[in-house]
Amino acid sequence: MDIQHYLQGKRQLINDHLPSFLAEKSIPGPLKDSMLYSLQAGGKRLRPILTLAVLDAFGKNSEAGLEAACALEMVHTYSLIHDDLPCMDDDDYRRGKPTNHKTFGEATAILAGDALLTFSFQMIAGSSTYTPVQKVALLTILSEASGAEGMVAGQAVDMESENQELTLEELQSIHERKTGRLLEASVLFGAVLADADAEEFERLGAFSRHLGIAFQIQDDILDVTGDSQLMGKQAGSDEHNYKSTYPKLLTLEGAKIQLAHHIKLAKDNLRKTKVDLVILEGITDYIVNRNH
């Protein structure tokens, strides 16, 4: 199993499908351009890949997960557009390209984010592939993960905590909501569509929560050690922005130990499930070994 090849194939599949959902829609030109600009700005596509990978691990047809997977990527994309705004993180570049508001102006960027968020729910609710019970499960997971107790809460607390020294617990709590919940939702989406039982659901949830923490620790480590070119943003930007990070709180060595710890716990939980391990373990290792 060549995991790089697997990821590449899934990424291509997602990149091919993501814009197609908007193609037939009568959306005003600049709004549609702005939505597509950020959807097509590249990225790892980790969230939709996780949904497809869980379906593969259950031995199901993963292409049936494409709509749900692309809905997750739309929510992720909306969150990046709003986080980049001048009144939030004020970022001019994202993945090496000018941010949405730099290209389309603030008003259109806000509306494009609003529209992508709304469209993610529309895609799932209107899907001809999923049953009503599956749709309700997906929409519940997605709205809880991305809303006032999940991703939006994480961003709100992150903004409040700017220039403040955080404890490890506070840092973890921000990341858990800001990025962890949507990664968890990505794994649970696969479980819902594979009709997983409650026990598998619980174990995959635990797997995804440790995976999410590991992902964030590696992000922080890359900000210290990484190559700006590969990352599409300036290495050292967390330091520059006075952000609390795992290396800052634990030292680089301590952060690497925590990373290994959460990778181990993620895999332990994965091995308790009955799904095929190869793909999901491969993705877990990829998260530690990635260089951007």
Question: Contact residues for its own copies (CB under 8 A)?
Answer: 22, 25-28, 30-32, 35, 82, 85, 87-88, 105-108, 110-111, 113-115, 117-119, 121-122, 125-126, 132-133, 135-136, 139-140, 142-144, 146-149, 152-153, 155-157, 159-160
Quote the least distance from Cβ 144 to its own copies, whole Å: 6
Comparing CB distances to its own copies, the nearer of 145 and 279 is 145
Quote the least distance from Cβ 189 to its own copies, whole Å: 14
Q: Which two tokens stand for residue 239?
A: 């330091």
Q: Which two tokens stand for residue 277?
A: 């391990």
Quote the least distance from Cβ 142 to its own copies, whole Å: 8
Comparing CB distances to its own copies, the nearer of 156 and 277 is 156
Comparing CB distances to its own copies, the nearer of 110 and 252 is 110
Residue partners of 283: CB distance under 8 A and separation at least 6: 3, 7, 49, 50, 53, 211
Q: Which two tokens stand for residue 81?
A: 């557009």
Closest CA to 112 of 161, 74, 139, 147: 74
Comparing CB distances to its own copies, the nearer of 147 and 205 is 147
Give CA angle at 292 (7, 82), nearest 5°.
Answer: 95
| C-alpha neighbours within 13 Å on the C-beta side of residue 229 | 0
Comparing CB distances to its own copies, the nearer of 27 and 252 is 27
Comparing CB distances to its own copies, the nearer of 10 and 178 is 178
Quote the least distance from Cβ 176 to its own copies, whole Å: 12
Closest CA to 139 of 77, 68, 206: 68
Quote the least distance from Cβ 191 to its own copies, whole Å: 17
Calculate the alpha carbon distances from 250 to 102, 103, 117, 266 in Å: 35, 38, 35, 21
Quote the least distance from Cβ 52 to its own copies, whole Å: 23
* Contact predicate 107/44, CB 8 Å: no
Quote the least distance from Cβ 46 to its own copies, whole Å: 21
Comparing CB distances to its own copies, the nearer of 118 and 225 is 118
Three state DSSP letters for 226-282: CCHHHHCCCCCHHHHCCCCCHHHHHHHHHHHHHHHHHHHHHHHHHHCCCCCHHHHHH
Quote the least distance from Cβ 40 to its own copies, whole Å: 16
The contacts found for 128-133 with CB under 8 angstroms, 24 or more apart, are 129/64, 129/67, 130/67, 130/68, 130/193
Calculate the alpha carbon distances from 97 to 92, 101, 181, 266 in Å: 8, 11, 26, 33
Comparing CB distances to its own copies, the nearer of 15 and 127 is 127
